[in-house]
A and B are shown apart, each in its own frame.
Chain A
């Protein structure tokens, strides 16, 4: 009776291979260093799977359980999540770009040109930053459309929809402030068009131009303002609103579904 439960020697080949696998597995995942980093092994029971989501700093943005209709790809097309992922990629590539870029009229263009030719993977980083920025603008619109057409703005999610509208504006402004930084003809004149649009605000046109663009034409003031907004102020504000956005999804009882 007790024979099978005894952890005796493996008797056939498949058991031997199994034993070897187990030893390799624990050599990798149960050693002293690994266990100092990850406090528990792979979460292979439902209880541990919930614990890992609830206690891991990166995963705890999620609830531990989610309604089964919401993991269907066609419900969200992952659009909000991908918007957020673009934000993360932009942060990483953006930090790398900051290493090489000085926001002065004398140096900006030169730095970008040098980044493309002299820096290993510099061109790749710049391209990634550019294309994911465009993608984020498109994705945030698509996300808004999916939220609208699934009626997910309805009570109790009214305010989270408003937070979303703020995030939409922030995304557009983030993208626009970045547009000036390469200080090439495309950047200068595109932002000049935006400068003109800002200046057409009734009553506050001049103030808008002075405060946002630092003058009545695009020059060094505009460059340093856009840079500061682009690398610090706006990402910080956007991150705060995203935190609120994600938190509210959970406070509002998870994502919307038929009542």
Chain B
């Protein structure tokens, strides 16, 4: 009893959980008012899906065959957005880290926006409707640009960067920036961001650093550190930067995760830093612009913009994946989509 009597005070001391007061005259009975609506909704949905199921059959293709890969192979639509991201950035970010961050972002919303105002009504703040609309339109627009930009051989962007010269494969150091082409193939500009680590080459004079002398280290062993010949060649000299203590093996052997780990700075730049900076840039840009106009006033407003953007990205990229990706994930128009089922 004593415990019970103390509970309210202990509770109030920590936080008071707000609850709207119950005014009986404003309430209706669940039976019949709510139960009736639920019943009608359930019946309507049952009928709709019965009709739909009579009219459209679920797909059943040929028996699974591990030797025959359909081109393109696509994930279910609700994961196609991740598959789309995979085309543009490092797979760990696209497939695991960004989705995890997005879910963490969702879960954290109520713990960051703790205001109580505006709950229980649609679009509770002054500008929230236009914030949501602007955020959705802006996101679609930016995504469209980025997808077209990182699009592959036929894109405008590739065309616009053809002036970057083709690399001379015989030269020891590339010198000015150039793009490596396949032997005998026609010269192309930047096809994707990934070309920054795969095809772009340049070299700058650079002092020998980390005191590595060529003699100590086996050529091609992966142990060379940065520059040994007075030139820093992109990407060869930066694609195997050893992590500190990566050969640290003492008593406990290889306990740490970075045992033997080298960083590929070139691909980190192309597939992690640049894509993430792009995302950060466009996010900050819209938030800053809306803040300057004066539409963005509270944390709730910031979340309205960001939540709308994340949900829009989710659905828009799924649409791109469903209707605009053809063989080998090339960017195409919806009426050109055909699947080679093998």
Asked if B132 is an interface residue, CB under 8 A from chain A, the answer is yes
Stretch of A31-39, A131-139, A225-233, A237-245 at the chain-chain interface? A131-139
Partner of B76, one of A50, A62, A175: A175
A256 CB, min distance to chain B CBs, angstroms: 4
Q: Which residues of B contact A137 (CB under 8 A)?
A: 78
Asked if A201 is an interface residue, CB under 8 A from chain B, the answer is yes
Asked if B109 is an interface residue, CB under 8 A from chain A, the answer is yes
B109 touches A153 (CB 8 A): yes
Interface of A is mostly: helix
Q: How far is the CA of A259 from the CA of B113 in the complex (A)?
A: 16
A66 touches B42 (CB 8 A): no
Chain A, range 197-221, C-beta contacts under 8 Å to B = 197-198, 200-203, 205, 217-219
Q: How far is the CA of A198 from the CA of B100 in the complex (A)?
A: 12
Which chain A residue lies CB-closest to B106?
A165
Which chain B residue lies CB-closest to A219?
B66
A154 touches B115 (CB 8 A): yes
Q: How far is the CA of A149 from the CA of B307 in the complex (A)?
A: 9
Which chain B residue lies CB-closest to A109?
B63
A155 touches B95 (CB 8 A): no
Partner of A124, one of B54, B96, B116, B118: B54
Q: How far is the CA of A106 from the CA of B116 in the complex (A)?
A: 57
Asked if B284 is an interface residue, CB under 8 A from chain A, the answer is no
Q: Which residues of A contact B120 (CB under 8 A)?
A: 69, 150-152, 255-258
Stretch of A1-9, A10-18, A22-30, A81-89 at the chain-chain interface? A81-89
Q: Which residues of A contact B91 (CB under 8 A)?
A: 196-197, 200
Asked if B12 is an interface residue, CB under 8 A from chain A, the answer is no
B96 touches A81 (CB 8 A): no
A257 touches B119 (CB 8 A): yes
Size of the B side of the interface (Cβ < 8 Å), in residues, is 86
A200 touches B132 (CB 8 A): no
B38 touches A131 (CB 8 A): no
Q: Which residues of B contact A218 (CB under 8 A)?
A: 66
Asked if A193 is an interface residue, CB under 8 A from chain B, the answer is yes
Contact with B along A112-138 (1 / 0, CB 8 A): 110010000001101111111011010
Q: Which residues of B contact A201 (CB under 8 A)?
A: 92, 95-96
A85 touches B54 (CB 8 A): no
A154 touches B82 (CB 8 A): no
Q: How far is the CA of A151 from the CA of B303 in the complex (A)?
A: 11
A63 touches B75 (CB 8 A): no
Most buried by B among A67, A124, A172, A217: A67
Q: Which residues of B contact A62 (CB under 8 A)?
A: 30, 34-35
Partner of A186, one of B19, B27, B59, B111: B59
Given A149-B122, A190-B75, A257-B20, CB of A155 within 8 Å of CB of B110: yes
B70 touches A185 (CB 8 A): yes
B24 CB, min distance to chain A CBs, angstroms: 8
B110 touches A150 (CB 8 A): no
Q: Which residues of B contact A219 (CB under 8 A)?
A: 66
A189 touches B119 (CB 8 A): no
Which chain A residue lies CB-closest to B79?
A194
A175 CB, min distance to chain B CBs, angstroms: 7
Size of the A side of the interface (Cβ < 8 Å), in residues, is 95
Q: How far is the CA of A196 from the CA of B60 in the complex (A)?
A: 23
Q: How far is the CA of A137 from the CA of B318 in the complex (A)?
A: 13
B52 touches A200 (CB 8 A): no
Q: Which residues of A contact B26 (CB under 8 A)?
A: 67-68
Q: Which residues of B contact A154 (CB under 8 A)?
A: 110, 113-116, 118-119
Asked if A78 is an interface residue, CB under 8 A from chain B, the answer is yes
Contact with A along B29-67 (1 / 0, CB 8 A): 111111101100110011001101110111111111110
Q: Which residues of A contact B17 (CB under 8 A)?
A: 155-156, 252
B324 CB, min distance to chain A CBs, angstroms: 17
B30 touches A53 (CB 8 A): yes
Asked if B166 is an interface residue, CB under 8 A from chain A, the answer is no
B65 CB, min distance to chain A CBs, angstroms: 7
Q: How far is the CA of A150 from the CA of B56 in the complex (A)?
A: 35
Q: Which residues of B contact A116 (CB under 8 A)?
A: 57, 60
Q: Which residues of B contact A59 (CB under 8 A)?
A: 30-31, 35
A84 CB, min distance to chain B CBs, angstroms: 10
Which chain B residue lies CB-closest to A115?
B60
What residues of chain A have their CB less than 8 Å away from a CB belonging to chain B?
Answer: 43, 46, 49-50, 52-53, 59, 62-69, 71, 73, 75, 78, 81-82, 85-86, 89, 105, 109, 112-113, 116, 123-124, 126-132, 134-135, 137, 141, 144-145, 148-158, 161-162, 165, 168-169, 172, 175-176, 179, 182-190, 192-194, 196-198, 200-203, 205, 217-219, 252-259
8 A-B interface contacts by CB (under 8 A): A49-B29, A49-B30, A67-B26, A116-B57, A130-B58, A131-B49, A200-B92, A259-B20
What residues of chain B have their CB less than 8 Å away from a CB belonging to chain A?
Answer: 17-20, 22, 24, 26-35, 37-38, 41-42, 45-46, 49-50, 52-54, 56-66, 68-70, 73-79, 82-83, 86, 91-92, 94-97, 103, 106-107, 109-111, 113-124, 128, 132, 257, 300, 304, 307, 311, 314-315, 341-342
6 nearest A-B pairs in the assembled complex, by CB-CB distance: A257-B120, A127-B53, A197-B95, A200-B91, A158-B110, A188-B64
